Amino acid sequence: MNTEQSKPLIELSHVTKSFPSMSGNFQALKNVSLKIGKGQLVAVTGKSGSGKSTLLNIIAGIDKPTEGQVAINGIRVDKLSESELATWRGKNIGVVFQFFQLLPTLTVIENIMLPMDFCNRYPKNERRERALVLLEQVNIREQADKLPSALSGGQQQRAAIARALANDPPVIIADEPTGNLDSQTSAAIFELFAALARSEKTVIVVTHEKDFADYFKDVIVIADGAIVNEFVPA
């Protein structure tokens, strides 16, 4: 998967991100360069405020670097406009949040069909079937027509993962996806991510959970905005 020969799916070159603050510019990321290949399951760890989420936001196109380049699947994400980013993100990045962030007035299956609607992916009459397949994949097919509030935390996170997969993006990004779940449920979620990586999805997970280190061959440790471990690039 992450062979020397294969072209990296995600490539960050000398990325710096600064935020203006009362006491001058604060550098959240300092000259970060990294490469992640197709099918890699990568953990990003570090202390609170170290720059993990900023790194994820930059990869997902949620935030733009102050300096440096970000290329995903050969596309210079840092050059896209907000509108282009929205469409690109919908098709290429699946995002999983810590608090699930399912839209409360839509049923589980409708939450999963929504990205297909926004990105106009898959014919209309196939969307429901695809959403059911994804729910099957995350083991909550029977919850399809319930509102998110009727689901447990774990089930909601599974639904959120199914939603992230809706448009079949090559990259899944999860920001502390188990931060709100018990250890048993967390294990199931990590297992799900591992399965996705095995099916050639690139999965990047921000996590504090040391108990699940076994799932990850690749770990990026960030401290004060810089990668401090010996991360093996793609």
Partner 1 sequence: MKTRYIKVIRDLTSDYPKNIMLIVAIALGVFGIGAILGGYSVIKREMTDNYLSTVPASATLELEKEISKSLVDSVKKIPGIQEAERHATVTARMRVGDKWFPLLLFVIDDFKEKRTNKPHHLSGEAEPSPGSMLVERTALIVMNAKEGDDLLIKTPHGEPQKVKLSGTVHDPGLAPAWQEQAGYGYITIETLHALGETQGFDQLRILVSEQPYSRDHIMETAQSVARQVERAGYPVHEIQVPSPGKHPHQSQMNAVMSIFIVFSFMILVLGSILVATSMATLMVKQVRQIGVMKTIGANSIQVMGLYALMMVLLCVLALMVAIPLSRLAAAGFYRQLAVLLNLEINDDSIPYWVAIIQVGSGLIIPLVAAALPVIRGSRISVKNALDNYGVTQTYSANTSWIVRFSQLNFFSETFRLAIRNVFRQRSRLVMTLGLLAAGGAMFMTALNVSEAWDSNLKRIYVQRLYDLEVHLNNFTTTDSIVKKIDAVQGVRAVEAWSSSPTSVSKDNALNITSTYPDKGHASFTMLALPVPTQLLNPTITEGKWLHDPTAHHVVLNQSARSSLKIGDEVSLAIEEKVSTWKVIGFVEDVGSHSTAYVSLQTFSAITNTTGQAELLRISYRDRSKENAMRKNLEIEKLLEKENMAVSKTIPVWLLRNAIAAHMKVLVNSLLAMALLMALVGTIGLVSTVSMSVLERTREIGVMRAIGATPAKIRSLIVWEGLLIGTISIFVAFVLSVVLSTYMGRVIGDMAFRTPLSLTISAFALMTWIVTIFAVAYVAVLLPARRANRISTREALAYE
Per-residue tokens: 70: 């970000």
User: Got the DSSP string for 135-184?
Assistant: HHHTT-GGGTTS-GGGS-HHHHHHHHHHHHTTT--SEEEEESTTTTS-HH
Select the span of 78-86, 136-144, 184-192, 217-225 touching partner 1 (CB under 8 A): 78-86
Q: Which is nearer to partner 1, 62 or 188 (CB)?
A: 62
**Which residues, numbered 177-196, are part of the site for partner 1 (CB under 8 A)?**
none
Q: How far is the CB of 95 from partner 1 (least distance, A)?
A: 5
Q: Please choose, out of 42-50, 83-91, 138-146, 207-215, the segment that lies near partner 1 by the rule CB under 8 A.
A: 83-91
Q: Work out whether 154 is an interface residue with partner 1 (CB under 8 A).
A: no
Which of 90, 154, 177, 225 touches partner 1 (CB under 8 A)?
A: 90
Question: Binding marks (x or -) toward partner 1, 49..68, rule CB under 8 A?
Answer: --------x--x-xx-----
Asked if residue 80 binds partner 1 (CB under 8 A), the reply is no
Name the strand (E) or helix (H) holding 70. strand 67-72
24-32, 36-44, 92-100, 223-231 -> range binding partner 1 (CB under 8 A): 92-100
Burial class from Cβ neighbours inside 10 Å (0-12, 13-18, 19+) for residue 25 reads: exposed
- Which residue in this structure is represented by tokens 């591992």? 194
Query: Which residue in the set 83, 125, 184, 199 belongs to the binding site for partner 1 (CB under 8 A)?
Result: 83
Q: Kindly report the number of other CB atoms within 10 A of residue 186's CB atom.
A: 20
Q: Of the candidates 6, 25, 49, 87, which one interacts with partner 1 according to CB under 8 A?
A: 87
**CA distance linking residue 86 with residue 72, whole number of Å:** 14
Contact (Cβ atoms closer than 8 angstroms) between residue 65 and residue 58: yes
* Residues whose CB falls within 8 Å of the CB of residue 179, separated by 6 or more in sequence, listed in order: 98, 208
Q: Using CB under 8 A, pick the residue from 16, 99, 139, 146 that binds partner 1.
A: 99
Judged by CB under 8 A, does residue 75 bind partner 1? no
What are the structure tokens assigned to 164, written together? Answer: 């992230």
Q: How many angstroms separate the CA atoms of 156 and 149, rounded?
A: 8
- Residue 209 contacts partner 1 per CB under 8 A: no
Residue type, 112: I
Question: Among residues 12, 116, 189, 220, which is the contact residue for partner 1, using CB under 8 A?
Answer: 116
Task: Indicate whether 152 belongs to the interface with partner 1 (CB under 8 A).
Answer: no
* Cα–Cα dist 79/156, whole Å: 34
Binding positions for partner 1, rule: CB under 8 A:
57, 60, 62-63, 82-83, 86-87, 89-91, 95, 97, 99, 101, 103-106, 110, 113-119, 124, 127, 163-164, 166-167
